[in-house]
Amino acid sequence: MAKLPFTTKHLFFNPPIIKTLTRFTTTMSATKPHSSLELSGGGLDSFLPAFTTLNQPYQAYPIVGSNTHLETIFAYYFRSNPDVRFRRQCLRTKDNGTVSLDWIVGDDRNLSPKSPVLILLPGLTGGSGDSYVRHMLLRARKKGWRVVVFNSRGCGHGPVTTPQFYSASFLGDISEVVEHVSSRYPDANLYAAGWSLGGNIIVNYLAQESENCRLSGAVSLCNPFNLVYANEDLRKGFNIVYDKALASSLRRIFKKHAPLFEEMSDEYNIPAAANCKSIREFDEALTSVSFGFKSVDDYYSKSSSSNSIQHVCKPLLCIQAENDPIAPARAIPREAINANSNCMLIVTPEGGHLGWVAGDDAPFGCPWTDPVVMDFLEYLEKTKSNSFLKPDEKTHTLQATVN
């Protein structure tokens, strides 16, 4: 047996060592998840040390969190919407389309070129004006991160310059955005977080890029995963209210740019898209056709990130709510997540869709998920940064901790 570098006398009577061991023991106990949360995934053991709050019970805010629809609607209408000054950059894509990137004013002066960059992808028809996006943005910014919101074509009051919007599986735009941000900040590590449809796009993108992905990690929240299941559930009961509301947003964006599609009337069902009463009707009339799918069901089946998550090769945290009315729990690809050592899944008992009205900032502040997301991303960034240290620098860091 190798001789230890210290004796029992050093262990029990050396305050610095005792403090170090105490901190280590506290960290280990703090990472034990509370039973109210479902944690799983092939990367669970690797990523669990990142989190500082998962040992606490998930407690939905009284009354608001008692019903999935109440929580979803409350968060949409009553969550505070922080004031943020953006500088918009319109990025022209290779097919002559346009996506809008919203950067925080002043970050070029205030942040180092090496500061980690977080790309945010809102949900269907969402943008930088949404409260859940802005809360996440500000939390990351306070930690010294550079943040940019990726508004898809026509979203966030952005322009549409071609007769094509976006889809759950079209990865051309996100690929160009990541490439652009990477070239702009070549010395920074890149990360992404997406909600709902944005989460589905991120997972598909990670899978497509595999080991060559420029992102150092990502987070997917309230991802519908299986679009066939999600569409089925969206047409049942009270969920029809959400379906109609989202269809209304799609109609509004489409009508604003309808002249671009007039010459394509032989290919697209323009009247059906302009008057759609559901997401399915819009996707059947426009989305599935413009992206070359045989039918709307073919589009949903082949665009589901539940099919691709097995190919993800970069750290990925997925956060879902068991009672999500739009991203149903039955669509979560638990087996694939458990089989992938790069993935971790957190499922909360409540939360609704884009709700998560719980935690210290409830009911009007940021979602419960925000500090969890930052714990994960900061852990990845520290791990990534440490991996680039020279061997002697790592040794010095260890000695400083012990001494």
Interatomic CA distance for residues 3 and 92, integer angstroms: 64
173 is catalytic: no
Among residues 196, 220, 288, 304, the one annotated as catalytic is 196
196 is catalytic: yes
Tell me what the mean pLDDT of segment 344-348 comes to. 98
Interatomic CA distance for residues 220 and 347, integer angstroms: 12
Interatomic CA distance for residues 1 and 148, integer angstroms: 53
Query: Binning pLDDT at 50, 70 and 90, where does residue 2 land?
Result: very low
What is the reported pLDDT for 264? 79
pTM of the predicted model over 0.85:
yes
Interatomic CA distance for residues 256 and 2, integer angstroms: 74
DSSP 3-state of 92: strand
Among residues 102, 233, 283, 324, the one annotated as catalytic is 324
Convert the pLDDT of each residue in 354-380 to its tens digit: 999 999 999 999 999 999 999 999 999
Query: Binning pLDDT at 50, 70 and 90, where does residue 387 land?
Result: low
Query: Binning pLDDT at 50, 70 and 90, where does residue 25 land?
Result: very low
Find all residues with CB under 8 Å of 248, minimum gap 6, and list them. none
- CA dihedral (393, 397, 399, 402) in degrees, to 10, reads -170
Interatomic CA distance for residues 184 and 186, integer angstroms: 6
pLDDT above 60 for 176? yes
353 is catalytic: yes
- Other CB atoms within 10 A of residue 280 CB: 21
Interatomic CA distance for residues 179 and 184, integer angstroms: 9
Among residues 167, 303, 353, 375, the one annotated as catalytic is 353
